[in-house]
Chains A and B, each alone.
Chain A
Amino acid sequence: MPVLRLQKILRDSAPKTRVTLLATDPMAKVDVVHFASENGHRLIGQTTQAKAAPGGLDLLIFEIEKA
């Protein structure tokens, strides 16, 4: 669950900390963006590397700055 892991890391981080999140679940494209926006964190970047994850899955890379 990418959002749960992100939530846990951000909870223990100082404001303005930047976190890079790697995910393969395509639902993260909605859930991570929604979580960041709803909680005031800044989504700095979102990219996809096609078939770059194990099993030939797309690798989703999110960069988030804690509020």
Chain B
Amino acid sequence: MQLGHPKFAYEKGLHQIGNGAYAWLQPDGGWGWSNAGLVVDGDQSLLVDTLFDVPLTLDMLAAYQDAESAAQSINTVVNTHHNGDHCNGNCCCPDAQIIAHRATAEHMQAEPPEMMQSFLDAAPELGEMGKYFTSCFGPFDFKSVTQKLPDTLIDDETTIKVGDKDVHLIPVGPAHTPGDTLAYVPADRTVYTGDILFIGGHPIIWEGPVQNWINACDRIIDMDVETIVPGHGPITTKAGVEEVRHYMVTMRNEARARYEAGMNYKEAAFDIALGVFDDWGDRERIVINCATMFHEFGAQGKPEITELFTAMAEYAAAFPQKD
């Protein structure tokens, strides 16, 4: 099924939504290749997310500045969640107010870019897991990043202004991560969803519960929006949101049946037929998703990060992605 918005090609770079709203897309939307947004009104500008490293973020900012004089100096950055591919580039906006959910700020501190770099440094000694980890995160320049944390924290739904435009910041986590936040701009009939939406790729359920994710999809579906900018993948419509919702409901049912049958999370991940989601990218994320859902169902403890990446490397080798 084609889930991209018919008005927007899925091409790298700047996409003008209209009325001072933009999206920056990074195909193919896999690990670390995130989307971001720009909202302007008058001489005011707001970024929704920065990118995984400084060179990528500077490229994006240059394009924004070519498109809008208001982007010469960014007033505000909103981080939709704490994963580095949505906030590592904050340091490229030294004068901006950085707004995020309190849980996002806390988890940013727990996952600094130096830690990703240390994992990449260790990867050559870590066999197939190390190769897989490097294939996911090796393309990015974490040494370029000086972490810039949010200076303004939100706990609940909050409305901020960009010029005369309202931007509603809507916490919907924990789902993908603890602090997931939507940025809804009614005047542009646009919502920037962060990683509540992966379009054309398997979502990663780092946190759960899945019901929060389903509720977040319902919240987006109820919005008066025409343009939906996901955290990864092409700009989409409500049809794309419905598909992500469908994924969550389906995978929760599939995982629960295997949990109740006595499988462990890895056995479940390898056993689940992906069906209509088989052609979505990064299928091995079903491993993380099953681990998180099994924890939600009552399984004790969560696997270590290397156990998850080892199992994902095995899955990717066993079930290579079809072209």
Quick one: which of A1, A29, A35, A38 has the most chain B CB within 10 A?
Answer: A29
Please pick, from A3, A26, A27, A40, the residue contacting B110 in the complex, using a CB distance under 8 A. Answer: A40
Interface contact B110-A30, CB-CB below 8 Å: no
Please pick, from B111, B118, B125, B304, the residue contacting A26 in the complex, using a CB distance under 8 A. Answer: B125
Q: Count the A-B residue pairs with Cβ separation under 8 angstroms: how many?
A: 37
Interface SS majority for chain B = helix
Q: Using a Cβ–Cβ cut-off of 8 Å, how many residues does chain A contribute to the interface with B?
A: 13
Nearest-neighbour CB distance to chain A for B110, whole angstroms, equals: 5
Interface contact B110-A37, CB-CB below 8 Å: yes
Please pick, from B115, B125, B126, B129, the residue contacting A33 in the complex, using a CB distance under 8 A. Answer: B115
A34 within 8 A of partner (CB): yes
Interface contact A31-B306, CB-CB below 8 Å: yes
Nearest-neighbour CB distance to chain B for A6, whole angstroms, equals: 11
As a 0/1 sequence over residues 276 to 320 of chain B, the CB contacts with chain A under 8 angstroms (1 = contact) are 000000000000000000000000000011100000000000000
In the A-B complex, the 4 residue pairs with the smallest Cβ-Cβ separation, listed nearest first, are: A29-B122, A27-B306, A31-B304, A26-B125
**Chain A residues near B (Cβ < 8 Å):** 1, 3, 26-27, 29-31, 33-35, 37-38, 40
7 further contact pairs, Cβ within 8 A, besides A29-B126, A34-B305: A3-B304, A26-B126, A27-B306, A31-B305, A31-B306, A33-B118, A33-B119
**Chain B residues near A (Cβ < 8 Å):** 110-112, 115, 118-119, 122, 125-126, 129, 304-306
